């Protein structure tokens, strides 16, 4: 897998109904749905959330390949989760390999946990692909604004979170550029592990220097725009809840409540 395949933090411009939703409603809905998804413990609930997530992907008008590409870097973890549960869960043995065995309950748990993790990644993509960093910042700041009354640095926290998401694809592109530069100089990564570590170490220093330079440039740009931490600022963009936002939040809260009730009663 190439580093360029990692697209976490990118935003895809669009005019779909998901793009037009208020960022606050998407953040609230994502939190409730992710929490409910973590409590899923039956095949029926898993199918329901799968239908919900893929319906959301359909309404974004973003190609499904974009979401699967976002899932690709985590595929190894999904497979690892499936294998761990399949091989080490006690139950009715389906296949016996002497050293380990695969049970019926192991396959069920492996499928449940790995699919649940994959849906979490897709759900995260629904939020980040359809919400620009600026909208995400405004939405988070509005949602966390009550915490300002107890003197918590909400603006600084939201700024750091947004910059982190924004610079993930930039840093990945920088690593890819440094890797290609090293390869063009004849350094091979298809060698022994110790030599590979040394070759990768040659990219760390340039990456750190480049990151520091970008941070300095960003700080200068913010200072030139008279940005001051802790100062109350107004926004020229007003966030307003529409009917679709109330429906989205209502649906997510209802599914969350239903899933928690089903989990507690099972």
Residue 197 confidence (pLDDT) above 70: no
Say what the pLDDT of residue 1 is: 46
Residue 162 confidence (pLDDT) above 70: yes
Q: What is the mean pLDDT of residues 205-221?
A: 83
How does the average pLDDT of the chain come out, rounded?
A: 82
Give the three-state DSSP class for 32. Answer: helix
Domain boundary assignment for the chain: 3-153+240-265, 155-229
Say what the pLDDT of residue 72 is: 80
Q: Is 27 left (phi over 0), alpha (psi -120 to 50) or beta?
A: alpha
CA atoms of 34 and 40, how far apart (whole Å): 10
Query: Quick one: CA torsion of 228, 233, 237, 239, rounded to 10 degrees?
Result: 120
More confident residue, 198 or 1: 198
Say what the pLDDT of residue 132 is: 85
- Is residue 164 exposed (0-12), middle (13-18) or buried (19+ Cβ within 10 Å)? exposed
User: For the ranges 91-95, 123-127, 147-151, which has the lowest average pLDDT?
Assistant: 91-95
């Amino acid at each position: 897998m190439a580093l360029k395949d990692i697209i976490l933090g990118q935003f895809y411009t669009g005019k779909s109904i998901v793009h037009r939703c208020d960022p606050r409603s998407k953040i609230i809905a994502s939190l409730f749905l992710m929490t409910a998804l973590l409590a899923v413990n039956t095949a029926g609930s898993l199918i329901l959330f799968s239908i919900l997530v893929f319906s959301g992907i359909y309404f974004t008008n973003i190609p499904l390949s974009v979401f699967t590409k976002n899932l690709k870097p985590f595929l190894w973890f999904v497979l690892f989760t499936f294998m761990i549960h399949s091989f080490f869960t006690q139950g009715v043995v389906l296949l016996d390999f002497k050293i380990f065995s695969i049970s019926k309950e192991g396959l069920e748990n492996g499928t449940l946990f790995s699919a649940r993790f994959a849906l979490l990644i897709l759900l995260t993509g629904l939020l980040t692909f359809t919400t620009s960093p600026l909208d995400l910042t405004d939405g988070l700041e509005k949602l966390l604004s009550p915490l300002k009354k107890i003197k918590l640095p909400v603006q600084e926290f939201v700024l750091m979170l947004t910059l982190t998401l924004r610079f993930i694809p930039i840093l990945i592109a920088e690593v890819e550029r440094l890797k290609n530069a090293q390869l063009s100089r004849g350094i091979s990564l298809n060698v022994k592990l110790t030599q590979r570590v040394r070759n990768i170490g040659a990219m760390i220093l340039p990456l750190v220097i480049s990151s520091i330079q970008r941070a300095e440039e960003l700080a200068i740009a913010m200072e030139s725009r008279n940005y001051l931490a802790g100062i109350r600022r107004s926004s020229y963009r007003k966030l307003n809840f529409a009917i679709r936002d109330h429906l989205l939040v209502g649906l997510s809260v209802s599914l969350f409540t239903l899933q928690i009730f089903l989990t507690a009663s099972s």
